[in-house]
Amino acid sequence: MRSGQPDNWNEREKATLENITLPDGAEFFSTPGHGFLRVDTSKLYASVSGYDYSDGPNHVLLEEDCSLTMWLAETGLIPMERYIVNMMTSIERLPGNITIRNRLAELKAENPGAVIVPPGPRLAINGKVYFNDTFIIAK
C-alpha cells in the first residue's frame, strides 16, 4: 500500500458504479486518470495491495482495476468470476485496517516460521469466499 494520494486526487469527483449499490462506508471517486473506492476500514473490511493508497488512519483507496474488483466480489456485490479468483491468488494483499496490520506484524514476530492468516475474506478451494473473523496461526 502506498502512502499519500493518487495522481490528480485533488481533481476527484464522486461517481457511481453501474448497477451496484455500495454499503455505508464505501464511496467511489473518479479522477482524470483512474477510479478509486474509498473504504472506511472502521466500518468495512478491505484488503490492500501495492496498487492502493492509505487515506488517513481509517480509510484506504482501492484502485479500480484489481483491488476494487476483488473487494466487490468478496463482499458479494458482483459474481466471483475466474479472472477475479486469478487476481486473488496472484496479488499479495494485507488488511487495510491499521490495527489488524499491526497485530499481524506482532504475531509474525512472536511466531517465527508460522503461517498467520489475518481476519478477512478467504477464497476457499471450492471457489467460495468465506469470512474469517479471527487470526489463524499454523505452526
CA dihedral 97, 101, 106, 110 (to 10 degrees): 120
pLDDT at 56: 85
19-76 pLDDT, tens digit each: 999 999 999 999 998 999 999 999 999 999 999 999 888 999 999 999 999 999 999 9
pTM of the entire predicted model: 0.84
- Residue-range domain boundaries for the chain: 9-138
Task: Give the whole-angstrom CA distance, residue 70 versus residue 90.
Answer: 12
Assign residue 113 a region: left if phi > 0, alpha if psi is -120 to 50, beta otherwise? left
- Is residue 96's pLDDT more than 80? yes
Closest alpha carbon to 135 in 113, 96, 106: 106
Question: What is the maximal distance between C-alpha atoms in the chain?
Answer: 48
